[in-house]
Amino acid sequence: MPRTLSCDTLALSGQANGRLIRSEVIRKKPDHIKPGDVFLLRTLTTGPTPADDWYHTGLITAISGDVVETIEGNTDLKGGSNGTAVFSRVRNFRKTTLDVFTIDGL
């Protein structure tokens, strides 16, 4: 896992070494993720050259049904991705483009 402040750098590193689990896979096989994994929120872009943009991250603390419980920094009470505090959140991985950098084997 790279030491970086960039969500894109972390995600691209995960893609390169087989550690990034895309949201499409997670929705079909949620047992692939576990507490301790790092989630990355991704914007879906379209157009002639679609590109991935990961813009927020945090740690998964629990999984229950269709949701993950998380600890997220740089957020706010409204759940923004550029806030000033650390909060616990609940995110539905079926309704969000949530990729995961798995720590399995690290």
**Cα–Cα nearest to 39, from 17, 61, 13, 18:** 61
* Tokens 């539905």, residue located: 92
Is 4 a residue whose pLDDT tops 70?
A: yes
Mean pLDDT of 50-57: 86
Mean pLDDT of 66-94: 90
Q: How many CB atoms within 10 Å of residue 1? A: 13
Q: What is the pLDDT of residues 11-25, one digit of tens each?
A: 999 999 999 999 999
The CATH class that applies to domain 7-101 reads: mainly beta
Q: What angle do CA 92, 97, 44 make, to 5 degrees?
A: 155
**Cα–Cα nearest to 39, from 30, 48, 47:** 30
User: Which position has the higher pLDDT, 71 or 81?
Assistant: 71
User: Which position has the higher pLDDT, 8 or 76?
Assistant: 8
Q: What is the pLDDT of residue 48?
A: 65
- Predicted confidence band of residue 38 (pLDDT cuts 50, 70, 90): very high
In the chain, what are the domain boundaries?
7-101
Q: Please give the model's pTM, rounded to 2 decimal places.
A: 0.90
CB 17 within 8 A of CB 101: no
